[in-house]
Amino acid sequence: MTEKLYDISGRIKDFDCLVLRCDLSDGKYLIETDKTAFFPESAGQCGDTGTIGDAVITDTVYDGDRIVHISGSPLEVGKRYSARLDYAPRYRRMQNHTGEHIVSSVMHRRFGFSNVGFHIGEREMTFDFDGVITPEQMKEVEDEANEISAKNVAVKAYYPSESALAALDYRSKGELDGRVRIVEIEGVDLCACCAPHVERTGEVGMIKILGFIHYKGGIRIRMKCGFDALDDFRNRISREERISRLLCVPQEETADAVASLSSALVQAKREFSEAKKRLAEAIAAGIDSPDKNVCIAVDGFATDDLRYLCNLCAEKCRVFAALSETDGGFSVVCVSRKVPLRQYAKIICEKGKGKCGGSDLMLTGRLAAGKETLIGIFEEEII
Ligand SMILES: [Zn+2]
């Protein structure tokens, strides 16, 4: 059984270990050692990475009861190696995990809700509760959690005896078997947890709830703590600076500027649509060829605009088609009240190099042939 150095302290990052097993499985080496500071993926927290000797450890997992380090390189069984943990990402995970314990303890004490799900991902941490609170209550939870962080109280982990454990009132995510490890935040929380934590709450730094949603009858919280919260804040500032430069307004006015830009865009779209309708009506007014097939190309028309134009011209020609150039081809609408159109869809698709379909009264499609070819098809092939 591997000795868990991360149980003794979350600060251990360099250690020596003896390789007990090194098995090849699916092209990866599974390395078991007499002791390790690498935390294996469990309790919602991903496995640690680092090096053992020259072998780069890309993950650490449980294989049954065994802790195995995963590497692309083998190590010699029976030999001792120096090992080093990738400590910066692990420290961030500890900040987040202890932050989660603090928030969960506040939620439990204030509202009686339990943490029923937890995951520390690459980008952020999520955790779930079996009850719902309001945004105002969430702000109070966040304030209290940050006060606990600022008080810098001790965080301790230990395995109580069975009788001592029976006397403890601690939180846990479910039925526990084997020895129970308690993580205690002094005067704040007792929780069953196997993961490494920071040693004092001050190390958690800022606890920032990014948002929460209703989830399975309760809520799911998104949160970042410590250096992850700092990075998030930096990224938000740089995005806000960019938006501020793009809109030419001070940063505190960006939201108002986006709102007025958005309503100006809605107005511009409405005016553009009206202008296209007037253009369609002007085009239709100039068309009067009841016995001829007419096909015209119009710039900037979407399929709906082409359909509007075609309906205006349906009675004015034998066949009327309108095209508008879009990304690498043409949107096409064709109407007729005199020729059943559906029988021509196949030849239009073949010669027009695209897709086209609809009813005997109207065909719509996207065709990749050139403009002159398409005009030729609609004016000469539909007989
Ligand atoms: Zn935990």
CATH number for position 131:
3.30.980.10
User: How many CA atoms within 13 Å lie on the side-chain side of 23?
Assistant: 10
Distance 41 CA to ligand 1 centre (A): 12
How far is the C-alpha of 311 from the C-alpha of 334, rounded, in Å? 9
pLDDT tens-digit map of 127-183: 999 999 999 999 999 999 999 999 999 999 999 999 999 999 999 976 667 889 999
For residue 245, count CB atoms less than 10 angstroms from its CB and return exposed for 0-12, middle for 13-18, buried for 19 or more: exposed
Q: Is 271 within the bounds of a domain?
A: no
Range of the domain at 157: 90-234
Q: Which CATH number do you get for residue 67?
A: 2.40.30.130
Distance 20 CA to ligand 1 centre (A): 29
Looking at the fold, whether 111 and 163 belong to one and the same domain comes out as yes
Q: Do residues 41 and 62 lie in contact, with contact meaning Cβ atoms separated by under 8 Å? A: yes
Looking at the fold, whether 111 and 228 belong to one and the same domain comes out as yes
Give the model's pLDDT for residue 176.
67
Distance 283 CA to ligand 1 centre (A): 70
Please give the C-alpha separations between residue 16 and each of 13, 80, 100, in angstroms, as whole numbers. Answer: 10, 7, 31
Distance 97 CA to ligand 1 centre (A): 6
Looking at the fold, whether 78 and 124 belong to one and the same domain comes out as no
Give the model's pLDDT for residue 43.
84
In b/e form, how buried is each residue of 263-290, taking b as 16+ CB within 10 angstroms?
Answer: eeeeeeeeeeeeebeebbeeebeebeee
**Count of structural domains, the chain:** 3
Give the model's pLDDT for residue 44.
87
Give residues with Cβ within 8 angstroms of 204, minimum separation 6: 95, 98, 99, 102, 149, 198, 225, 226
Distance 174 CA to ligand 1 centre (A): 12
Distance 50 CA to ligand 1 centre (A): 22
Distance 219 CA to ligand 1 centre (A): 18
Q: Is 254 within the bounds of a domain?
A: no
Give the domain-ending residue among 39, 65, 85: 85
Distance 101 CA to ligand 1 centre (A): 6
Looking at the fold, whether 55 and 103 belong to one and the same domain comes out as no
Looking at the fold, whether 155 and 40 belong to one and the same domain comes out as no
Strand order in the sheet with 155-158: 155-158, 182-185, 189-192
Distance 90 CA to ligand 1 centre (A): 14
In b/e form, how buried is each residue of 337-356, taking b as 16+ CB within 10 angstroms?
Answer: eeeebeebbeebbeebebeb
Distance 176 CA to ligand 1 centre (A): 13
How far is the C-alpha of 20 from the C-alpha of 31, rounded, in Å? 8
Distance 278 CA to ligand 1 centre (A): 65
Give the model's pLDDT for residue 328.
87
H-helix or E-strand containing 57? strand 55-63
Distance 361 CA to ligand 1 centre (A): 66
Looking at the fold, whether 32 and 98 belong to one and the same domain comes out as no
Matching residue, tokens 């952020």? 124
Looking at the fold, whether 171 and 301 belong to one and the same domain comes out as no
The amino acid at residue 377 is I
Q: Is 165 within the bounds of a domain?
A: yes
How far is the C-alpha of 368 from the C-alpha of 372, rounded, in Å? 12
Distance 104 CA to ligand 1 centre (A): 10
Distance 42 CA to ligand 1 centre (A): 10
Q: Is 268 within the bounds of a domain?
A: no
Looking at the fold, whether 100 and 224 belong to one and the same domain comes out as yes
Q: Is 151 within the bounds of a domain?
A: yes
Instruction: Answer positive or negative: Cα dihedral of 117, 119, 123, 124.
Output: positive
What does residue 202 show for φ and ψ, rounded to 5 degrees?
-60, -30
Give the domain-ending residue among 28, 52, 85: 85
Q: Is 193 within the bounds of a domain?
A: yes
Q: Is 71 within the bounds of a domain?
A: yes
Q: Which CATH number do you get for residue 287?
A: 3.10.310.40
Q: Is 242 within the bounds of a domain?
A: no
How far is the C-alpha of 336 from the C-alpha of 151, rounded, in Å? 79
Distance 360 CA to ligand 1 centre (A): 67
Distance 277 CA to ligand 1 centre (A): 62
Distance 293 CA to ligand 1 centre (A): 75
For residue 187, count CB atoms less than 10 angstroms from its CB and return exposed for 0-12, middle for 13-18, buried for 19 or more: exposed
Give residues with Cβ within 8 angstroms of 101, minimum separation 6: 183, 185, 189, 191, 193, 197
Give the model's pLDDT for residue 277.
96
Distance 137 CA to ligand 1 centre (A): 23
Length of the chain counted residue by residue? 383
Spell out which residues have Cβ within 5 A of ligand 1, the ion: 193
Give the model's pLDDT for residue 121.
81
Distance 192 CA to ligand 1 centre (A): 7
Distance 247 CA to ligand 1 centre (A): 44
Give the model's pLDDT for residue 379.
93
Looking at the fold, whether 160 and 74 belong to one and the same domain comes out as no
Residues of the chain with pLDDT under 70: 174-176
Distance 105 CA to ligand 1 centre (A): 11
Distance 231 CA to ligand 1 centre (A): 23
pTM listed for this prediction: 0.81
Give the domain-ending residue among 51, 85, 119: 85
> In the structure encoding, which two tokens stand for residue 129, read together?
């509760």
Looking at the fold, whether 168 and 303 belong to one and the same domain comes out as no
Looking at the fold, whether 41 and 104 belong to one and the same domain comes out as no
Looking at the fold, whether 62 and 126 belong to one and the same domain comes out as no
Distance 127 CA to ligand 1 centre (A): 11
